[in-house]
Structure 1
Amino acid sequence: MDKVDILKTNVRPSKEMFIYECGYEYCAPTKPFEYIHINYYLLHYIIDGEGYFIMDGVKHHLKKGDGFFIPPYKDNNYYPDSDNPWVYRWVGFNGTECKKLLKMSGFYDGNYTFAYDFENGLKDNFLNIYLSFKNGDYFSSLGFLYQVFGKLIKEYENESNKLSNPKEIYTDKAVEFIEENYNKQISVTEISKSLNIDRSHFFKCFRDVMNISPQQYLINFRLSKSQDLLRKSSFSISTISSLVGFSSPEYYSKIFKKYIGITPNEFRGKYTKK
């Protein structure tokens, strides 16, 4: 295989996005120098070795599985590590939808780098972009570029979710736990243990997000489920109380009357033909 190959075309299979060039390079150690401005977007993916990328005065040390993005008309500088020079593939592209896709991938507010090393997914995509392009199959090449964006967007969304409000994360997981276990004898303490956080801290997080205590949410959820069963099933009150997690039919009836205003039997009677 040659040390470097650069492919270019003026064919534009889609105005939304089209590939202007692509290629690869097995880099030799070089001194840093600044590249000229380009009038399209450029995405590099490192498949081996390491190197340095400088943008907006910030120097990034990148390695296998990392990548970097260069916008049009932007000063940029990148070069391989002298002891372990990088090997990378790149694709240059443009089109009306590029800004949107790049922002969805996390490339905004000064972010020009990414990391993706799962099961050679991007490595294969970049290779297929190049091979299809070389064969003149520009639609397939563009399709593989969309797959690159699909992976980057999904990874960025996953990372963004990890950085979301911790209170919301705990609350979402608590609600999920309740929905899966409401029919068992679970308590607020057990819910907090499932989340690996202190009970009082969990209580505050849940209350701040839901404006209701976790205990009250659990009661409301169980009552809602029991109302569905009262309307749609012929189960006895005793069986229904057990199916939705209440400790006894008597306690269930007491809680139902307190919050719904009538007994379970009276509620069922409203939906029974006479």
Structure 2
Amino acid sequence: MPSESFKRSYKTKTRESLPVAVYNSGLQQCDPGYTWGPGLRDHCLIHHVTSGKGVFRVEDAVYEVGAGDTFLVYPGTVVSYTADVEDPWGYCWVGFNGPDAKILLTQTPFTREQPVVRFSDPDAVRDAIQSIYAASGTSSASELRAIGQLYLFLALLVEQGGQEPSGDLMREYFESAVRFITHNYSHPIDVGDIASNVGISRSHLYRVFMQEVDVSPNDYLTRFRVTQACELLERSTLSMAEVAASVGYSDQLYFSRVFKKVIGLPPTQYKQQKLQTRQGGILWN
């Protein structure tokens, strides 16, 4: 006989702009044949089956899932899952999202082609999710504790077969950031704006730039702006204030200090001497 059905869950009321945040968590013993979907989620959702069995459908793929298995619902993907009629499953779950969620998941065994995983220690996975649920609450301290438990949970998944973030993904983030800089350097953008546009945290953006070009995103943005300023100084009749404004600096004096720090000369002297230091790209001297 299946266990008596129940559901206990918690949903956060605030979803701040944190690198990763817990959206919901809970435990459930499902009724026979209980189904969720077809539908999609706006966040990552991991279920760990603690008893019984059921079926997990991801678009055209069908997975038979039983006790000890863990499955991931990717945001924006149409899924459904159904408890077995004779032996309905019980599971615990955690939903989360944020700028760092995507890159954190790339370090786990989950992929879109393999959304169901049996980890080497299923009980540890169960306990980690239940610890997130136990830590949840309405206070700021409770939410921080839940986030802390989420990081521990993800670390556990990484330890049990995860991979390092792929070079292709890091390159994709870098190229996206460079496109944003190229199109917006004349506006007063900063590193936070770049990270937000790419969809990762400032700390991950820093790691991406250090891996790809061994330069921080702030230095890259500064040098890109100075490169554009050099071109304007050499090829236009704009005033110094107009050049500064054209590359994203509202303060001409601050622009002059930044320019001198990168080039070694103040912009007025650079213009006078018409230094030919550009090499077709960003200045790295």
Coarse TM-score class (shorter-chain normalised): 0.5 to 0.7
CA deviations over 1:29-62 (Å, ceiling 9, x no partner): 1165633222111111111111110113111111
What secondary structure is seen at the aligned counterpart in 2 of 1:121? helix
Task: Name the structure 1 match of 2:128.
Answer: 125
Task: Name the structure 2 match of 1:92.
Answer: 95
| TM-score normalised over the length of structure 1 | 0.53
Task: Name the structure 2 match of 1:48.
Answer: 51
What secondary structure is seen at the aligned counterpart in 1 of 2:75? coil
Task: Name the structure 1 match of 2:13.
Answer: 10
Work out the CA distance in 1 between the residues paired with 2:25 and 2:122.
22
| TM-score normalised over the length of structure 2 | 0.51
What secondary structure is seen at the aligned counterpart in 1 of 2:24? strand
Contact 2:26-2:130 at 8 Å conserved across structures:
no
Q: Note the C-alpha offset of 1:85.
A: 0.8
Tell me how large the CA RMSD over aligned residues is: 2.4
Give the structure with higher Rg (CA). Answer: 1
What secondary structure is seen at the aligned counterpart in 1 of 2:13? coil
Contact 2:12-2:23 at 8 Å conserved across structures:
yes
Work out the CA distance in 2 between the residues paired with 1:149 and 1:95.
14
Task: Name the structure 1 match of 2:116.
Answer: 113
Work out the CA distance in 2 between the residues paired with 1:2 and 1:27.
5
Q: Note the C-alpha offset of 1:112.
A: 0.9
What secondary structure is seen at the aligned counterpart in 1 of 2:42? coil
Task: Name the structure 1 match of 2:157.
Answer: 152
**Distance of aligned partners of 1:153 and 1:84 in 2 relative to their CA distance in 1, 3 Å threshold:** same
Q: Note the C-alpha offset of 1:135.
A: 6.5
1:142 aligns with 2:147: yes
Q: Note the C-alpha offset of 1:108.
A: 2.5
CA deviations over 1:177-204 (Å, ceiling 9, x no partner): xxxxxxxxxxxxxxxxxxxxxxxxxxxx
**Distance of aligned partners of 1:119 and 1:129 in 2 relative to their CA distance in 1, 3 Å threshold:** same
Contact 1:13-1:138 at 8 Å conserved across structures:
no
Contact 2:9-2:133 at 8 Å conserved across structures:
no
Instruction: Output aligned runs, 1:1-274, within 5 Å.
Output: 3-12=6-15, 15-30=18-33, 34-116=37-119, 118=121, 120-134=123-137, 136=139, 137-157=142-162
Question: Gapped runs of 5+ residues in structure 1?
Answer: 161-274
Question: Gapped runs of 5+ residues in structure 2?
Answer: 164-285
Q: Note the C-alpha offset of 1:14.
A: 6.2
One-letter code aligned to 1:64: A
Q: Note the C-alpha offset of 1:13.
A: 6.3
**Distance of aligned partners of 1:106 and 1:118 in 2 relative to their CA distance in 1, 3 Å threshold:** closer
Contact 1:42-1:92 at 8 Å conserved across structures:
yes
Work out the CA distance in 2 between the residues paired with 1:25 and 1:78.
13
**Distance of aligned partners of 1:87 and 1:119 in 2 relative to their CA distance in 1, 3 Å threshold:** closer
Work out the CA distance in 2 between the residues paired with 1:102 and 1:38.
16
| Structure 1 ranges of 4+ moved more than 3 A | none
**Distance of aligned partners of 1:134 and 1:63 in 2 relative to their CA distance in 1, 3 Å threshold:** farther
What secondary structure is seen at the aligned counterpart in 1 of 2:148? helix
Alignment size in residue pairs: 159
Work out the CA distance in 2 between the residues paired with 1:96 and 1:58.
28
Work out the CA distance in 2 between the residues paired with 1:145 and 1:64.
22
Work out the CA distance in 2 between the residues paired with 1:60 and 1:111.
10
